[in-house]
Structure 1
Amino acid sequence: MKKIIGLIIIILFIGCKGDKTKEMEEVSASESDSLSDENFISESILGEEAVEFNFEKANRLADLPLGCIETEYPNKLGQTLENKEALGTPQELHPAFYGCFDWHSSVHAHWSLVSLLKQFPDLEKEEEIREKLQKSLSAENIMGEVEYFQRTQSDSYERTYGWAWLLKLAEELKTWEDPLAKELDANLQPLTDLIVQRYVDFLPKLNYPVRVGEHSNTAFGMSFAYDFANSTANQDLMDAISKRARDFYLNDDDCPISWEPGGYDFLSPCLQEVDIMLRILPRNAFNLWIEDFMPDLKNEDFTMEVGEVSDRSDGKLVHLDGLNFSRAWVFYHLANTYPEDYGYLRTLANEHVSYSFPNLVGDSYEGGHWLGSFAIYALQAASKE
């Protein structure tokens, strides 16, 4: 039965300010050749058991971004050329974020290093991480990034996936009580301000949401931006995101989850929508909305097969490892926010992480340059019980 009228009444009564989210298979013999450390994976193949986010794993995960933030080639620029003078090497064009194959992957590689060091301050490569972050995120380099975004043909550059990760990096720096974080946050601020303004300008012009399983997914971009706005008390950005999320998704019914995943998905269109609505709707409104949108999620027997990767050397097919991590973090968010209603989803999240986590170490560059960030974010969500 349709719940939208009751949902609107609840929202009007309670208000439209959302709460911030509080935030298996066993590895086959054919895949085991890609695993370079048995201790790293020993807790990762237990299926229903959570992968423990510990000091040892943090050290190994740090190697992934350290291995790519200064790796300039191969590189996918995604550039629109306004003239021949606009050409340049990746580092010339993007002095801060030129490594890790593409701009957004470089941004979330930097986020990974900040996040890991923030959670595990005694990492074995702490000094190297600090030095590389300070070098990359210098005031001069960030101004070079700002200049690129201000080019005539760059209004839509990295919209909104890269924007979202830039604000996630800014949020991580702003919530880290460390002198280095204060320095880097101040350096990043001009680019942070620019991206915030891009969101505020763009969202009212977007008449329809983008509902895909890759970079341009609107719900994903708004979710990370909302976290930044919430943590920094940026009410204008929070309001802009809340309004557009309600406009886009409040009337949605019966998301076709059985159609997922698409062959190249690293995000779930249905679950990313759940993730943003979990942030912006009060509890009663969210529960009414989910009954129309994905009623099966309220069933304790709900299950979902992991996304299976056939070839991890294929840059598109390996996206499905990312899908497993992103599905997992949505399940963890639900279980953490309303444990009495969705706590059973933690087991399903564990299964998704356990399938893909063992493949991070020794993986090809196609996945290694970005998947660590997705794994770290999922493990963070898992640890916030």
Structure 2
Amino acid sequence: MKRLFAAIFCLAIIACKGDKSQDNQPKEPKTDSITEDITKSFMEVDPIVLTLAEANKLAELPLNCIDTEYPNKLGQTLENKEAMGEPHELHPAFYGCFDWHSSVHAHWSLVSLLKQFPDLEKKEAIREALKQSLSAENIQGELEYFNRKESTSFERTYGWAWLLKLAEELETWEDPLGQELAENLKPLTNLIIERYMEFLPKLNYPIRVGEHTNTAFGLGFAYDYAVTSGRTEFEEAIKKRTQQFYLQDDDCPMGWEPSGYDFISPCLAEVDIMRRVLPKNAFSMWIDDFMPQLKNEDFSLEVGEVSDRTDGKLVHLDGLNFSRAWIFYSLANQYPEQFGHLKSVANEHVAHSFPNVVGDSYEGGHWLGTFAIYALQQAGNKPAK
């Protein structure tokens, strides 16, 4: 089937050129009227709307962690003893929130929430925190770290992807501060694009795991940035490599998921990048081979269950629920006639993990808010002011 489809797809591309379609016992989640109300609406499969009250609570998580330096996981390869330093010395912009990539997407969360809700209670504190973190001087310090001999693969490609997602959010923010910060970030944004362009031709096989190094996830966010920013060469490079990696894939073993530490679904991450790069008809044919069950009106998927939210790895499964949800929402919004039913599956996943975001231990709290915000953003409903 794939050999025939490859030929058909080549013809479709020609015809459609230019078409851009504290112990081992689990902790009881802390809930309040906000999380109870939103959970109730999710389970009833009502339209999902992020309110100002919820946004104020979610904003507390990144605002409180972007300057929390310890505990910290550096993920650093040392050239020598002189290469050691405290997190704020090594990463003057992104030293908080436990690790570099979590700090990056914490900044993304703050920008995203400000754009959706200009009247956030702590809007001035957020603006000031962003201005301090993303100064031109601090980004230059980040650039110097990335240019170290041993840092070529630092945060490849998960952190790279979130950096580009932050750049995209800033560049599309119609606020002088957003444009100022996007300009400050641009040297690092450009370097990340260069790293992608150097790395993708060397990667002979995609990485199909449920954690940070998943290739499809990294390509998805990178592609979004390329399209939004008009980086045509970068966009085409991603599109070409994506097709080379995944076009011939059949029968993704969804029954094997999730693995114990997954916060990304390997099968669904692949679906998510392919829906971006393939024209509508080609994508429909591809999904018939790869995951045809997604078209079934009665499709269901059990949520990921977390046994201990104080364990930084086990709590990944809450993130999996959010990342699955944003893929289901994206599919349903892009092709409602084929995948509209997936919104209810997404709602169930968000409803299960949302009550655990606010009030959770630092192991999950430093990053899960971002995943929740992005999932709600992809739901496609206008925020309730």
Shorter-chain TM-score bucket reads: over 0.9
Please say if residues 27 and 309 of structure 2, whose CA atoms lie closer than 8 Å, have aligned partners that are also in contact. Answer: no
Please say if residues 20 and 279 of structure 2, whose CA atoms lie closer than 8 Å, have aligned partners that are also in contact. Answer: no
1:161 counterpart (158, 163, 169):
158
Q: Distance in 2 between matches of 1:3 and 1:247?
A: 12
Structure-2 residue corresponding to 1:286: 283
1:34 aligns with 2:29: yes
Structure-1 residue corresponding to 2:105: 108
Structure-2 residue corresponding to 1:27: none
Amino acid in the other structure paired with 2:129: K
Pair 293,163 (structure 1): closer, same or farther in 2 beyond 3 Å: same
What's the secondary structure of 1:44's corresponding residue?
helix
Give per-residue Cα distances to partners, 1:293-343, cap 9 Å, x unaligned.
001111111111000111101000000000000000110011000001100
What's the secondary structure of 1:302's corresponding residue?
coil
1:240 aligns with 2:265: no
- Give the Å deviation of 1:5: 1.6
Please say if residues 12 and 282 of structure 2, whose CA atoms lie closer than 8 Å, have aligned partners that are also in contact. Answer: no
Question: Given the two structures, how large is their TM-score scaled by the length of structure 1?
Answer: 0.94
Q: Identity percentage over the alignment?
A: 68
Amino acid in the other structure paired with 2:249: D
Please say if residues 357 and 365 of structure 2, whose CA atoms lie closer than 8 Å, have aligned partners that are also in contact. Answer: yes
Q: Distance in 2 between matches of 1:32 and 1:42?
A: 21
Structure-1 residue corresponding to 2:12: 13
Q: Distance in 2 between matches of 1:317 and 1:96?
A: 28
1:95 counterpart (92, 95, 99):
92
Aligned pair count reads: 376
Question: Given the two structures, how large is their TM-score scaled by the length of structure 2?
Answer: 0.94
1:47 aligns with 2:46: no
Structure-1 residue corresponding to 2:123: 126
2:312 counterpart (290, 312, 315):
315
- Give the Å deviation of 1:285: 0.2
Structure 2: runs of 5 or more not aligned: none
Q: Distance in 1 between matches of 2:115 and 2:304?
A: 31
Structure-1 residue corresponding to 2:73: 76
Give per-residue Cα distances to partners, 1:174-194, cap 9 Å, x unaligned.
011101001100100000000
Pair 208,377 (structure 1): closer, same or farther in 2 beyond 3 Å: same
Give per-residue Cα distances to partners, 1:251-278, cap 9 Å, x unaligned.
0000000000000000000000000000
Structure 1: runs of 5 or more not aligned: 22-29
- Give the Å deviation of 1:52: 2.5
Give per-residue Cα distances to partners, 1:68-127, cap 9 Å, x unaligned.
000000000000000110000000000000000000000000000000001101100000
Give per-residue Cα distances to partners, 1:183-229, cap 9 Å, x unaligned.
10010000000001101111011000000000000000000000000
1:253 aligns with 2:254: no
Matched ranges for 1:1-385 at <5 A = 2-15=1-14, 33-45=28-40, 46-49=42-45, 50-384=47-381
Please say if residues 35 and 354 of structure 2, whose CA atoms lie closer than 8 Å, have aligned partners that are also in contact. Answer: no
Please say if residues 72 and 96 of structure 2, whose CA atoms lie closer than 8 Å, have aligned partners that are also in contact. Answer: yes
Pairwise CA RMSD: 1.6
Please say if residues 40 and 56 of structure 1, whose CA atoms lie closer than 8 Å, have aligned partners that are also in contact. Answer: no
- Give the Å deviation of 1:43: 1.8
**Larger relative CO (CA 8 A, sep 6+): 1 or 2?**
1
Amino acid in the other structure paired with 1:238: E
Q: Distance in 1 between matches of 2:265 and 2:210?
A: 5
- Give the Å deviation of 1:20: 5.5
